[in-house]
């Protein structure tokens, strides 16, 4: 009796069930379904929210722009960009400044209309110094678009190199930036919900979750905290 057909059918059924109940199948042990935030299989959930934030605020990514790490988001979301610079902790092709955001005297004051600062501030030992440098290098009327993690696992890559130190809430982010930009110059929003948080911690990519569910915001589950801080025009 040829049993290959029933076996193939059973194998296909198992694959279909795993795809349909992906999260349930994966959460049978203590390790995440996918390590490294799920980036190997698609878009990490935190990046889904970061891109939503930058899309919403893309009108500010114009003129002279500084991005931390690389200029990927500047190129993707910017319009009317006249200067695109990069600050990075390591020298690489396309990097304008090599240094630390907490102290970067090599960058002239009042230089930029916009700073794109995604998922970086929480690595600094002194976040207040980093925010102070942002106010210095921004032109009067310029803005920083910043995202920080609220709910997140440790980034092992960063922990082993320069440290993964902080997680913020909407309250702490508002207090941190208001000290330098003033309360009237700061807008804070949050992204995430309980399902999104579980999926992110398990490394489930955004492509496996409906956008309708991802886009629902539950303020008690702040996966990403996003800040728009604008330097006073008369500064």
Q: How many domains does the chain have?
A: 2
How far is it, in rounded angstroms, from Cα 63 to Cα 87? 17
How far is it, in rounded angstroms, from Cα 188 to Cα 184? 11
- Nearby residues of 76 by Cβ (< 8 Å), 6 or more positions away: 54
Please check whether residues 23 and 112 belong to one and the same domain. no
Please check whether residues 151 and 42 belong to one and the same domain. yes
Domain membership flag for residue 219: yes
Residue 25 has pLDDT above 60, yes or no: no
Please check whether residues 134 and 57 belong to one and the same domain. yes
Q: What is the pTM of this model?
A: 0.89
Please check whether residues 159 and 182 belong to one and the same domain. yes
Please check whether residues 4 and 100 belong to one and the same domain. no
Please check whether residues 99 and 184 belong to one and the same domain. yes
Please check whether residues 25 and 132 belong to one and the same domain. no
Beta strands (DSSP E) in 105-176 are: 112-118, 138-149
Using pLDDT thresholds of 50, 70 and 90, give the confidence band for residue 1.
very low
Domain membership flag for residue 235: no
Task: Give the strands of the sheet with 81-88, arranged side by side.
Answer: 97-98, 81-88, 63-68, 112-118, 138-149, 224-230, 186-191
User: Partners of 191 in the beta sheet?
Assistant: 224
Domain membership flag for residue 187: yes
Please check whether residues 24 and 92 belong to one and the same domain. no
Task: Please state the φ and ψ torsions of residue 110, each to the nearest 5 degrees.
Answer: 55, 45
Once rounded to an integer, what is the mean pLDDT over residues 36-40?
Answer: 87
Domain membership flag for residue 194: yes
Taking a C-beta distance cutoff of 8 angstroms, is the pair 99, 87 a contact?
yes
Please check whether residues 49 and 69 belong to one and the same domain. yes
- Nearby residues of 98 by Cβ (< 8 Å), 6 or more positions away: 87, 88, 89, 90, 91
Please check whether residues 10 and 77 belong to one and the same domain. no
Please check whether residues 3 and 99 belong to one and the same domain. no
CATH value at residue 111: 3.40.50.150
Using pLDDT thresholds of 50, 70 and 90, give the confidence band for residue 36.
confident
Residue-wise pLDDT for 176-201, tens only, equals: 999 999 999 999 999 999 999 999 99
Range of the domain at 87: 32-230
Once rounded to an integer, what is the mean pLDDT over residues 31-46?
Answer: 90
Query: What is the overall mean pLDDT for the chain?
Result: 92
Residue-wise pLDDT for 90-140, tens only, equals: 899 999 999 999 999 999 999 999 999 999 999 999 999 999 999 999 999
Please check whether residues 105 and 71 belong to one and the same domain. yes
Taking a C-beta distance cutoff of 8 angstroms, is the pair 80, 216 a contact?
no
């Amino acid at each position: 009796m040829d049993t290959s057909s029933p076996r193939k059918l059973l194998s296909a059924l198992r694959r279909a069930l795993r795809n349909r109940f992906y999260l349930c199948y994966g959460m049978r042990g203590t390790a995440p379904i996918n390590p490294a935030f799920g980036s190997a299989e698609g878009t990490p959930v935190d990046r889904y929210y970061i891109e939503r934030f930058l899309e919403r605020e893309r009108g500010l990514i114009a003129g002279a722009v500084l991005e931390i790490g690389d200029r990927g988001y500047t190129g993707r979301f910017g319009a009317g960009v006249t200067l695109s610079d990069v600050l990075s902790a390591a020298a690489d092709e396309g990097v304008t400044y090599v240094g630390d955001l907490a102290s970067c005297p090599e960058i002239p004051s009042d230089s930029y209309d916009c700073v794109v600062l995604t998922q970086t501030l929480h690595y600094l030992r002194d976040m207040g110094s980093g925010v102070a440098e942002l106010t210095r290098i921004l032109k009067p009327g310029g803005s920083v678009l910043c995202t920080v993690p609220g709910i997140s696992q440790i980034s092992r890559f960063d922990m082993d190199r320069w440290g993964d130190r902080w997680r913020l809430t909407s309250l702490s982010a508002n207090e941190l930036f208001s000290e330098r930009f003033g309360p009237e110059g700061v807008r804070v929003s949050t992204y995430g919900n309980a399902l999104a948080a579980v999926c992110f911690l398990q490394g489930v990519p955004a492509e496996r979750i409906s956008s309708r569910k991802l886009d629902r915001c539950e303020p008690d589950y702040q996966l990403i905290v996003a800040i728009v801080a604008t330097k006073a025009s008369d500064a």
